[in-house]
Structure 1
Amino acid sequence: MCNKKTISLNELIENLGIEETQRFLTFFQCSRNPDVEKFLVQKAIRFEQASAASTHLILNENGQILAYYALSFKEIRIEASKTLWKKLSGGLGAGNILKVFLIGQIAKNEAISNNPINLSTILDDIYQQIYLAKRSVGGRVIVLECEDHPNLISHYQKHGFQLLQTVEDENQLKTMFIVPAFK
Structure 2
Amino acid sequence: MKEGNELLELLSSFSCEKDEDIEYFLHHRAIEFEKLSKARTYLVFDQDQLENKEKNLTIYGYISIALKILSVPQEMSNRMRKELDGFSAKIHGEQISDFPCYLIGQLSKNSNVKSEGISGKQLIDFASDIIAASVEAVGGRYMMIECRNKEKLIQFYQDNYFSEVARIPDEDQPMVQMIRKIG
Shorter-chain TM band: 0.7 to 0.9
2:35 to 49, 52, 56: 49
Matched, 1:29 2:29: no
Matched, 1:120 2:121: yes
Stretches of structure 1 lacking an aligned partner (at least 5 in a row): 1-14
Counterpart contact for 1:30–1:37, Cα < 8 Å: yes
Between the two proteins, the alignment pairs up a number of residues equal to 166
Deviation of 1:18 (Å): 2.6
Stretches of structure 2 lacking an aligned partner (at least 5 in a row): 50-56, 91-95
Q: Give me the identity figure in percent.
A: 27
1:91 to 84, 87, 92: 87
Matched, 1:20 2:13: no
Stretches of 4+ aligned residues off by more than 2 angstroms: 168-171
Q: How does 1:107-146 map to 2 (within 5 A)?
A: 107-146=108-147
Aligned match of 1:3? none
Deviation of 1:169 (Å): 5.5
Deviation of 1:97 (Å): 0.7
Deviation of 1:93 (Å): 4.2
Q: What letter corresponds to residue 70 of structure 1 in structure 2? A: S
Aligned match of 2:67? 73
Aligned match of 1:9? none
Q: CA RMSD in A?
A: 1.5
Aligned match of 2:78? 82
TM-score in terms of structure 1 length: 0.85
TM-score in terms of structure 2 length: 0.85
Give the Cα–Cα distance (whole angstroms) in 1 for the partners of residues 11 and 70 of structure 2.
31
**Which is higher, the Rg of structure 1 or of structure 2?**
2
Q: Deviations over 1:116-153 (max 9, x none)?
A: 31122111111110011111111111110001011110
Counterpart contact for 1:103–1:143, Cα < 8 Å: yes
